[in-house]
Amino acid sequence: MSHFIFGPVQSRRFGLSLGVDLSPDKKQCNFDCLYCELKGAKTVDAMQTFPTVQEIIDELKIALEKFSDIDVITITANGEPTLYPHLEELVNEINRIKNDKKLLILSNASCIYDKKVQNALLNIDIVKLSLDSAMPVMFKKLNRPNNSVSLEQILKGLREFSKLFGNELVLEILVVENFNDTRDEFIALNRIINEINPSRVDISTIDRPSAYKVKAVSYETLEILAREIKNIPVMIAKRKEFDKNNLSLDEEEIIQLLKMRPQSEEDINNMFDENSKKLLLDLLKKEKIKLINAIGINFYKLN
Protein backbone atom coordinates (compact mmCIF):
# COMPACT_ATOMS: atom_id res chain seq x y z
CA MET A 1 0.00 0.00 0.00
CA SER A 2 1.27 3.48 -0.85
CA HIS A 3 1.97 5.90 1.93
CA PHE A 4 3.31 8.82 -0.09
CA ILE A 5 1.49 8.31 -3.40
CA PHE A 6 -2.23 8.97 -3.89
CA GLY A 7 -4.70 8.91 -6.77
CA PRO A 8 -4.92 8.97 -9.67
CA VAL A 9 -7.41 11.81 -9.49
CA GLN A 10 -8.95 13.61 -12.43
CA SER A 11 -7.98 17.26 -12.51
CA ARG A 12 -9.99 19.49 -14.82
CA ARG A 13 -6.95 21.58 -15.60
CA PHE A 14 -4.08 19.11 -15.73
CA GLY A 15 -5.66 15.74 -16.65
CA LEU A 16 -5.27 12.46 -14.78
CA SER A 17 -2.87 13.06 -11.89
CA LEU A 18 -0.90 10.83 -9.55
CA GLY A 19 -0.10 12.71 -6.33
CA VAL A 20 3.09 12.63 -4.26
CA ASP A 21 2.44 13.72 -0.66
CA LEU A 22 5.64 14.82 1.09
CA SER A 23 3.96 15.10 4.49
CA PRO A 24 1.25 12.41 4.72
CA ASP A 25 1.12 12.11 8.53
CA LYS A 26 0.67 15.71 9.65
CA LYS A 27 0.26 19.25 8.40
CA GLN A 28 3.64 20.95 8.04
CA CYS A 29 3.17 24.39 6.56
CA ASN A 30 4.70 27.84 6.93
CA PHE A 31 1.23 29.35 6.33
CA ASP A 32 -1.97 28.86 8.30
CA CYS A 33 -4.42 30.15 5.68
CA LEU A 34 -7.92 30.99 6.85
CA TYR A 35 -9.34 28.98 3.95
CA CYS A 36 -7.10 25.90 4.34
CA GLU A 37 -8.89 22.60 3.78
CA LEU A 38 -6.69 21.05 6.47
CA LYS A 39 -7.23 21.74 10.14
CA GLY A 40 -5.59 24.95 11.39
CA ALA A 41 -2.09 24.29 12.77
CA LYS A 42 0.88 26.17 14.17
CA THR A 43 3.17 27.22 11.32
CA VAL A 44 6.67 25.77 10.93
CA ASP A 45 9.72 27.08 9.07
CA ALA A 46 11.06 23.61 8.22
CA MET A 47 9.68 20.06 7.93
CA GLN A 48 10.35 18.06 11.07
CA THR A 49 9.37 14.66 9.70
CA PHE A 50 9.71 13.68 6.07
CA PRO A 51 10.33 10.61 3.87
CA THR A 52 13.60 9.85 2.10
CA VAL A 53 13.81 10.34 -1.66
CA GLN A 54 14.27 6.57 -2.06
CA GLU A 55 11.07 5.79 -0.12
CA ILE A 56 9.08 8.05 -2.44
CA ILE A 57 10.70 6.80 -5.64
CA ASP A 58 10.15 3.14 -4.68
CA GLU A 59 6.41 3.76 -4.25
CA LEU A 60 6.17 5.98 -7.32
CA LYS A 61 7.73 3.32 -9.57
CA ILE A 62 5.08 0.79 -8.49
CA ALA A 63 2.27 3.32 -8.98
CA LEU A 64 3.53 4.32 -12.44
CA GLU A 65 3.49 0.69 -13.54
CA LYS A 66 -0.07 0.29 -12.32
CA PHE A 67 -1.40 3.61 -13.65
CA SER A 68 0.49 3.95 -16.91
CA ASP A 69 -2.19 6.19 -18.49
CA ILE A 70 -1.79 9.19 -16.15
CA ASP A 71 -0.93 12.61 -17.60
CA VAL A 72 0.82 14.26 -14.69
CA ILE A 73 2.68 13.55 -11.43
CA THR A 74 1.81 16.21 -8.85
CA ILE A 75 4.17 17.04 -5.97
CA THR A 76 2.15 18.29 -3.04
CA ALA A 77 2.01 17.94 0.75
CA ASN A 78 -0.22 18.21 3.76
CA GLY A 79 1.35 21.62 3.98
CA GLU A 80 4.05 23.21 1.85
CA PRO A 81 6.10 20.90 -0.44
CA THR A 82 9.01 23.35 -0.92
CA LEU A 83 9.83 22.90 2.79
CA TYR A 84 10.96 19.35 1.88
CA PRO A 85 14.75 19.48 2.32
CA HIS A 86 15.63 17.12 -0.58
CA LEU A 87 13.35 18.66 -3.20
CA GLU A 88 15.98 19.11 -5.92
CA GLU A 89 17.15 15.50 -5.62
CA LEU A 90 13.55 14.27 -5.60
CA VAL A 91 12.68 16.26 -8.75
CA ASN A 92 15.75 14.89 -10.55
CA GLU A 93 14.88 11.31 -9.58
CA ILE A 94 11.24 11.69 -10.65
CA ASN A 95 12.36 13.18 -13.98
CA ARG A 96 14.52 10.08 -14.51
CA ILE A 97 11.52 7.71 -14.29
CA LYS A 98 8.52 9.72 -15.44
CA ASN A 99 8.91 9.12 -19.22
CA ASP A 100 6.36 11.22 -21.10
CA LYS A 101 4.41 12.27 -17.97
CA LYS A 102 4.51 15.90 -16.91
CA LEU A 103 5.72 16.90 -13.47
CA LEU A 104 3.68 19.51 -11.58
CA ILE A 105 4.17 21.14 -8.17
CA LEU A 106 1.57 23.02 -6.14
CA SER A 107 3.20 25.50 -3.77
CA ASN A 108 2.30 28.56 -1.70
CA ALA A 109 5.35 30.40 -3.19
CA SER A 110 6.71 31.17 0.28
CA CYS A 111 10.23 29.85 -0.49
CA ILE A 112 10.51 30.98 -4.11
CA TYR A 113 13.23 33.52 -3.19
CA ASP A 114 15.47 30.61 -1.98
CA LYS A 115 18.03 29.64 -4.67
CA LYS A 116 17.88 25.96 -3.66
CA VAL A 117 14.09 25.93 -4.16
CA GLN A 118 14.41 27.86 -7.43
CA ASN A 119 16.93 25.28 -8.72
CA ALA A 120 14.57 22.43 -7.85
CA LEU A 121 11.57 24.13 -9.48
CA LEU A 122 13.49 24.96 -12.67
CA ASN A 123 13.39 21.24 -13.56
CA ILE A 124 9.61 20.91 -13.17
CA ASP A 125 7.27 21.07 -16.19
CA ILE A 126 4.45 23.02 -14.54
CA VAL A 127 4.92 25.19 -11.44
CA LYS A 128 1.71 26.42 -9.85
CA LEU A 129 2.19 29.06 -7.16
CA SER A 130 -0.35 30.80 -4.96
CA LEU A 131 -0.49 34.57 -4.71
CA ASP A 132 -3.63 35.68 -2.89
CA SER A 133 -2.57 39.22 -2.10
CA ALA A 134 -0.03 41.80 -3.21
CA MET A 135 -0.56 43.83 -0.02
CA PRO A 136 1.48 42.96 3.11
CA VAL A 137 -1.35 43.58 5.61
CA MET A 138 -3.87 41.45 3.71
CA PHE A 139 -1.28 38.74 3.04
CA LYS A 140 -0.70 38.43 6.80
CA LYS A 141 -4.41 38.44 7.62
CA LEU A 142 -5.38 35.84 5.04
CA ASN A 143 -2.36 33.53 4.74
CA ARG A 144 -1.11 33.97 8.35
CA PRO A 145 2.52 33.15 7.51
CA ASN A 146 5.31 32.02 9.80
CA ASN A 147 7.63 34.86 10.92
CA SER A 148 10.28 33.55 8.54
CA VAL A 149 8.12 34.49 5.51
CA SER A 150 7.76 37.95 3.99
CA LEU A 151 5.62 39.06 1.06
CA GLU A 152 8.43 41.31 -0.15
CA GLN A 153 10.76 38.30 -0.42
CA ILE A 154 8.06 36.29 -2.21
CA LEU A 155 7.42 39.01 -4.81
CA LYS A 156 11.16 39.47 -5.40
CA GLY A 157 11.54 35.68 -5.71
CA LEU A 158 8.63 35.43 -8.15
CA ARG A 159 10.14 38.12 -10.40
CA GLU A 160 13.55 36.39 -10.32
CA PHE A 161 12.18 32.89 -10.85
CA SER A 162 9.91 33.81 -13.77
CA LYS A 163 12.90 35.24 -15.66
CA LEU A 164 14.86 31.98 -15.23
CA PHE A 165 12.00 29.53 -15.78
CA GLY A 166 11.38 28.27 -19.31
CA ASN A 167 8.41 25.96 -18.63
CA GLU A 168 4.81 26.62 -17.64
CA LEU A 169 4.17 28.95 -14.68
CA VAL A 170 0.63 29.26 -13.29
CA LEU A 171 -0.34 31.70 -10.54
CA GLU A 172 -3.41 31.01 -8.42
CA ILE A 173 -5.47 33.58 -6.52
CA LEU A 174 -8.02 32.28 -4.03
CA VAL A 175 -10.58 34.96 -3.18
CA VAL A 176 -12.21 35.16 0.26
CA GLU A 177 -15.18 37.38 1.10
CA ASN A 178 -14.25 40.56 3.00
CA PHE A 179 -10.54 39.84 2.61
CA ASN A 180 -8.88 40.00 -0.83
CA ASP A 181 -12.12 40.63 -2.76
CA THR A 182 -11.51 44.30 -3.50
CA ARG A 183 -10.76 46.14 -6.72
CA ASP A 184 -7.69 47.78 -5.12
CA GLU A 185 -6.31 44.35 -4.29
CA PHE A 186 -6.74 43.15 -7.87
CA ILE A 187 -5.23 46.34 -9.31
CA ALA A 188 -2.16 45.68 -7.12
CA LEU A 189 -2.15 42.00 -8.11
CA ASN A 190 -2.42 42.92 -11.79
CA ARG A 191 0.69 45.11 -11.53
CA ILE A 192 2.84 42.36 -10.05
CA ILE A 193 1.32 39.61 -12.23
CA ASN A 194 2.23 41.55 -15.37
CA GLU A 195 5.81 41.84 -14.13
CA ILE A 196 5.90 38.07 -13.50
CA ASN A 197 4.14 37.29 -16.82
CA PRO A 198 2.91 33.74 -16.01
CA SER A 199 1.44 31.42 -18.65
CA ARG A 200 -1.92 31.59 -16.88
CA VAL A 201 -3.70 32.93 -13.79
CA ASP A 202 -6.30 30.74 -12.06
CA ILE A 203 -8.87 32.55 -9.92
CA SER A 204 -11.05 30.61 -7.54
CA THR A 205 -12.88 30.87 -4.24
CA ILE A 206 -13.56 28.53 -1.33
CA ASP A 207 -15.51 25.43 -2.38
CA ARG A 208 -14.82 23.05 0.51
CA PRO A 209 -15.08 23.30 4.30
CA SER A 210 -12.22 25.45 5.59
CA ALA A 211 -10.09 25.58 8.75
CA TYR A 212 -11.61 28.89 9.92
CA LYS A 213 -14.94 30.64 9.47
CA VAL A 214 -14.55 32.37 6.13
CA LYS A 215 -16.87 32.65 3.17
CA ALA A 216 -16.62 32.19 -0.57
CA VAL A 217 -17.42 35.06 -2.92
CA SER A 218 -19.95 34.69 -5.72
CA TYR A 219 -18.97 33.72 -9.24
CA GLU A 220 -20.08 37.19 -10.37
CA THR A 221 -17.56 38.76 -7.95
CA LEU A 222 -14.80 36.53 -9.35
CA GLU A 223 -15.78 37.68 -12.85
CA ILE A 224 -15.69 41.36 -11.90
CA LEU A 225 -12.35 41.05 -10.08
CA ALA A 226 -10.83 39.01 -12.93
CA ARG A 227 -11.44 41.95 -15.27
CA GLU A 228 -8.67 43.83 -13.44
CA ILE A 229 -6.13 41.23 -14.61
CA LYS A 230 -5.06 42.45 -18.04
CA ASN A 231 -3.10 40.77 -20.87
CA ILE A 232 -2.69 37.37 -19.18
CA PRO A 233 -4.98 34.33 -19.78
CA VAL A 234 -7.24 33.95 -16.74
CA MET A 235 -9.17 30.83 -15.81
CA ILE A 236 -12.03 31.27 -13.36
CA ALA A 237 -12.97 28.15 -11.44
CA LYS A 238 -16.67 27.68 -11.19
CA ARG A 239 -19.31 25.24 -10.15
CA LYS A 240 -21.92 24.14 -12.66
CA GLU A 241 -24.67 26.26 -11.14
CA PHE A 242 -22.75 29.37 -12.15
CA ASP A 243 -23.09 28.51 -15.81
CA LYS A 244 -25.46 30.86 -17.55
CA ASN A 245 -25.16 30.89 -21.35
CA ASN A 246 -26.96 34.23 -21.55
CA LEU A 247 -24.28 36.74 -22.46
CA SER A 248 -25.25 38.36 -25.74
CA LEU A 249 -22.46 40.28 -27.49
CA ASP A 250 -21.98 41.67 -30.97
CA GLU A 251 -18.69 41.34 -32.90
CA GLU A 252 -17.27 44.62 -31.64
CA GLU A 253 -18.09 43.73 -28.02
CA ILE A 254 -16.42 40.33 -28.40
CA ILE A 255 -13.30 42.05 -29.74
CA GLN A 256 -13.36 44.49 -26.81
CA LEU A 257 -13.70 41.61 -24.36
CA LEU A 258 -10.71 39.80 -25.88
CA LYS A 259 -8.72 43.03 -26.01
CA MET A 260 -8.94 43.18 -22.23
CA ARG A 261 -7.55 39.66 -21.90
CA PRO A 262 -7.85 36.22 -23.55
CA GLN A 263 -10.98 34.25 -22.59
CA SER A 264 -11.00 30.50 -22.00
CA GLU A 265 -13.01 28.27 -24.33
CA GLU A 266 -14.79 26.90 -21.27
CA ASP A 267 -15.81 30.37 -20.02
CA ILE A 268 -17.05 31.27 -23.51
CA ASN A 269 -19.08 28.05 -23.71
CA ASN A 270 -20.59 28.75 -20.31
CA MET A 271 -21.23 32.46 -20.68
CA PHE A 272 -22.07 33.18 -24.33
CA ASP A 273 -25.49 32.66 -25.85
CA GLU A 274 -25.72 30.75 -29.16
CA ASN A 275 -25.58 33.82 -31.40
CA SER A 276 -22.49 35.23 -29.63
CA LYS A 277 -20.77 31.85 -30.01
CA LYS A 278 -21.55 31.92 -33.75
CA LEU A 279 -20.09 35.44 -34.06
CA LEU A 280 -16.98 34.29 -32.21
CA LEU A 281 -16.49 31.42 -34.65
CA ASP A 282 -16.93 33.86 -37.57
CA LEU A 283 -14.16 36.03 -36.09
CA LEU A 284 -11.99 32.93 -35.82
CA LYS A 285 -12.65 32.03 -39.47
CA LYS A 286 -11.81 35.61 -40.52
CA GLU A 287 -8.58 35.24 -38.48
CA LYS A 288 -9.37 38.32 -36.41
CA ILE A 289 -8.97 36.12 -33.34
CA LYS A 290 -7.10 32.88 -32.68
CA LEU A 291 -7.23 29.90 -30.32
CA ILE A 292 -4.14 29.35 -28.16
CA ASN A 293 -3.38 26.65 -25.59
CA ALA A 294 -2.10 27.64 -22.13
CA ILE A 295 -1.18 24.41 -20.33
CA GLY A 296 -4.05 22.25 -21.47
CA ILE A 297 -6.66 25.03 -21.58
CA ASN A 298 -7.76 26.71 -24.80
CA PHE A 299 -8.10 30.49 -24.85
CA TYR A 300 -9.49 32.81 -27.51
CA LYS A 301 -7.16 35.73 -28.12
CA LEU A 302 -6.98 38.67 -30.52
CA ASN A 303 -4.78 37.96 -33.53
Q: How far is the CB of 229 from ligand SF4 (least distance, A)?
A: 21
Question: In this structure, which amino acid lies at residue 9?
Answer: V
What's CA 91's distance to the chain center, in Å? 19
Cβ at position 30, least distance to ligand SF4 in Å: 7
Burial of 60 (0-12, 13-18, 19+ CB in 10 A): buried
Closest contact distance (angstroms) between CB of 78 and ligand SF4 is 7
> At a CB cut-off of 8 Å and minimum separation 6, what does 190 contact?
228, 229, 230
Minimum distance from residue 177 beta carbon to ligand SF4 (Å):
17
What is the per-residue DSSP string for 119-173?
HHHTT-SEEEEE---SSHHHHHHHH---TT--HHHHHHHHHHHHHH--SEEEEEE
The contact set with ligand SF4 (CB under 6 A) reads 29, 31-33, 36, 38, 79-80, 108
Least distance in angstroms from the C-beta of 104 to ligand SF4 = 15
In whole angstroms, what is the distance from residue 131 CA to residue 80 CA? 14
In single-letter form, the type of residue at position 290 comes to K
Phi and psi, residue 201, nearest 5°: -120, 130
